[in-house]
Structure 1
Amino acid sequence: MARILVVDDQHLIRSGIVTLLRTVEGLGPVVEASNGEEAVAAARAHRPELILMDIKMPRLSGLAAAERILSLGLEPTPRIVVLTTFDEDEFVYAALRAGCSGFLLKDMPPAQLLSAVTATLSADLLVAPARIRRLVERHAANAVNLPPPRSAGDPADPLTGREIEVLGFVAQGLANEEIATRLRVSESTVKTHLHRVMTKLNLRSRAQAVVYAYETGIVRAGDRSAQPSTPGE
């Protein structure tokens, strides 16, 4: 049973989501917090598998809270999904860059919210890859002078050609099964390569891997079919 933490400073929104989630059979306990500081404390205490986090909150923003939670080294690492509105793309990009797994619109219908929560508990990426890609392409060009995503660094063991290729396909929005077909390998082999990429670069989510690939030039805006590198095991 998955533990879930809902964080929002607006009581009506927070309580509405909590009440909705508590109606779902099979979900674990649902905990709530009203600001970023409470969210960090609740994450430490309850170790949720999923956190729904508002971005704009007093005292400690959702972005800052997400960064702190992801740096705690909790096991398992919680998947953080930011709650947003249509005019907060810049904040969403920063959240994905920091390691959050996706985003949800606050005004989405309850049935869609429940479907999204169920999906993210069993998937690496909540939002459709095409939506993530469009968002990243809009903002990555403005981030070229920034250091790489916070959790990434120069790996002591550099990525192999095949790992770069897999990362490039992930950034283009391909699922593991599609990547396996392109490379003529098994899906488990793709998962192994991707796991090594995430470990070497200290990336916390598939969405953050997409951001990293664009900001470091592994994939460029508009690229849909080019091979990111020469294959090599």
Structure 2
Amino acid sequence: MIDKIKVMLVEDDIEWQRGIADYLGDHPRIDFVCCVASRKECRAALQRVAIDVVLMDIMLGEQSGNGLDAALDIAGEHPAVQVIILSSIDNDDELFYEAFLGGAYDFVYKNDFEQLPRVIVESVENETSKYGSRLRKLVFDRKKDLLTAGDVELLRHIAQGRTQQEISLLNNVSLAAVKKQVGRLLEKFDWSGSSKELADKCLKWGLIEKK
């Protein structure tokens, strides 16, 4: 069992930085190591400092949900590090479900921050949360069911950096047909970003494999 749990906070709101640091600072099991304000700073800090648990704000800067992208980075690059998502957004089920698909251990609303010490300790003592794995599988299966074999192949091409024109030539179909299929994919996932961003996310989620 870890004597002192090394914790890093990823939070760009100064008041929350101070509040959480003060709240956790005197806990006998927790060593509050550092606080960073962005996804980039988080990745850099994890290269330098030994961390057991990352408390990840779901909204960094002005972009809702980009803390989930940072959590997904950690799951792929530092699988031994547990990520606990922090959120003040309490009415978005998709963000909640995506947190677990991306490998989060747990999800704590900021108005329940008093739960943090308990959840932090549990994340180290029990590698899998009581419902995290089941939610992860449920969301994975739900997203996997959205994809046809043709969708998977299209996403692989996009993840490899091929343009829609290149895909149309490779598959001997019209450019209009490729554009239409891409549009359907974005609609299926209710995706507002680019098709490349969606393909990269599906790759990290394990929905497709890069050949």
Quick one: structure 1 residues 71 and 140, their matched pair in 2 at CA, closer, same or farther if it must change by over 3 Å? closer
Structure 2 equivalent of residue 24 of structure 1: 27
Distance 1:109 1:55 in 2: 14
User: Which residue matches 1:52?
Assistant: 55
Q: Which amino acid aligns with 1:88?
A: D
Q: RCO greater where, 1 or 2, for CA within 8 Å and sep 6 or more?
A: 1
Q: Partner letter of residue 72 of structure 2?
A: E
Deviation at 1:109, TM superposition (A): 4.9
What amino acid is aligned across from residue 103 of structure 1 in structure 2? F
Q: Provide closer, same or farther for how the CA distance between residues 142 and 67 of structure 1 changes in structure 2, counting only shifts above 3 A.
A: closer
Paired residue type of 2:23: L
CA–CA separation in structure 2 for the residues paired with 1:38 and 1:59: 16
For the Cα contact (< 8 Å) 1:47–1:78, is it kept in 2? no
1:101 paired with 2:105, answer yes
Deviation digits for residues 28-84 of structure 1, max 9, x if unmatched?
A: 243111121111111221131000101121388212212222332x4x710011112
CA RMSD of aligned residues (A): 3.0
**One-letter code of the match for 1:15?**
R
Change in CA separation of 1:77 and 1:87 when aligned onto 2, cut-off 3 Å = same
* Letter aligned with residue 29 of structure 2: G
CA distance in 2: counterparts of 1:83 and 1:66, whole angstroms: 11
**In structure 2, what is the equivalent of residue 141 of structure 1?**
142
Distance 1:138 1:43, change over 3 A: closer
Q: Following TM superposition, by how much is the alpha carbon of 1:140 offset from its aligned partner in structure 2, in angstroms?
A: 4.9
The structure 2 residue matched to 1:40, chosen from 40, 43, 48, is 43
Q: TM-score, normalised by structure 1?
A: 0.53
Structure 2 length as normaliser, TM-score?
A: 0.58
Question: Structure 2 counterpart of 1:44, which letter?
Answer: Q
1:86 alignment partner, one of 90, 94, 102:
90
Q: Name the SS for the 1:9 alignment partner.
A: coil
When residues 87 and 58 of structure 1 are mapped into structure 2, their CA distance, relative to the original with a 3 A threshold, is same
Q: What CA distance in whole angstroms lies between the structure 2 residues aligned with 1:26 and 1:133?
A: 28
Within the alignment, does 1:118 sit opposite 2:148 as a pair? Answer: no
Higher helix share: 2
Q: 1:88 to 1:143 in 2, by over 3 A?
A: farther
Q: What secondary structure sits across from 1:28 in the alignment?
A: strand
CA 1:123–1:9 in 2, change beyond 3 Å: closer, same or farther? same
Other structure's SS at 1:118 match: helix
Alignment map for 1:65-214 (pairs within 5 Å) = 65-72=70-77, 74=78, 77-84=80-87, 85-110=89-114, 112-126=115-129, 128-129=130-131, 133=134, 140-146=141-147
Structure possessing the higher radius of gyration over alpha carbons:
2
Go from structure 1 to structure 2 and tell me whether the alpha carbon gap of 1:86 and 1:9 turns closer, same or farther (over 3 Å shift).
Answer: same
SS of the residue corresponding to residue 3 of structure 1 reads strand
Would the alpha carbon gap of residues 120 and 143 (structure 1) be closer, same or farther in structure 2, given more than 3 Å must change? same
Whole-Å separation in 1 of the counterparts to 2:7 and 2:26: 13
Could you tell me the percent identity over the aligned residues? 21
Cα distance in 1 between the residues matched to 2:100 and 2:110: 17
Structure 2: give runs of 5+ residues left out of the alignment. 153-204
The alpha-carbon deviation at position 7 of structure 1 amounts to 0.9
Note closer, same or farther for the CA distance 1:66–1:28 as it changes in structure 2 (3 Å cut): same
